[in-house]
Amino acid sequence: IVFVLTMMAATACERVTFKMTADLMIGYKFALVEIIFAFSCCAFGLVTLQQLLFTNEISAQMREFPHKKIFNMAIIDTIQLLMLTFSASGVSPTMTVILLHATTPSILLFSRMVFPDRQYGEEHKRGVKIITIAILIALSRPLIFFISDVSNHAASLQSMSSMIYVLAACAQGYSTIYKEKCIIEWSLPINVYYLSTCL
């Protein structure tokens, strides 16, 4: 229970700080993306370095993971993060959390396309339907304001930002399935910290 509560608190803090930072650095969004990448690289890099120096968890074989696939993963992740960061300031704080869940239905959709034999239970399907309905309800408000007053710059900005934010969340879902596909095709163990450092 403590671990679950800690994870929930960390996730909530990450969402709040992401939204605050996206709003405060509105004129420096590209710099914000670079800062996020730099901090991620440092965090994963330190763990990877520790494992390389003091353990045998990262084998020479793992370091042969195809660089082309790592490059493709990195491109998808970069585009997704750019879209998410650039659109976040135009989305209300509550909506950033709700719309980010578009990742889940997109994972299910892309998973069915990439792994057609994969089956999901009724609980998964029900959950995805509920998430999809929540996203559609959340998107309806900015879209209605946009349609009712096309000349309203704030409404059109929020509507456009919300749509881009959802597309970014869907791209994150695609990224997850693409990584899974690459790892399955590799069919050998791969250290998650090493892979994240490379990305």
Worst-scoring range by mean pLDDT, 41-45, 53-57, 89-93, 126-130? 89-93
42 neighbors 170 (Cβ within 8 angstroms): no
Q: Is the backbone of residue 187 left (phi > 0), alpha (psi -120 to 50) or beta?
A: left
Rg (CA), the chain: 19
Average pLDDT over residues 150-178: 86
Q: pLDDT band for position 97 (50/70/90)?
A: confident
Q: Taking the model in full, what pTM does it have?
A: 0.85
What is the model's pLDDT at position 151? 67
pLDDT digits (tens, 9 = 90+) for 109-163: 999 999 999 999 999 999 999 999 999 998 888 777 777 766 666 667 788 899 9
What is the model's pLDDT at position 145? 72
* pLDDT higher than 90, residue 74: yes
Distances, alpha carbon 28 to alpha carbons 15, 92, 162, 166, in Å: 19, 19, 20, 22
174 neighbors 106 (Cβ within 8 angstroms): yes
72 neighbors 171 (Cβ within 8 angstroms): no
Q: pLDDT band for position 30 (50/70/90)?
A: confident
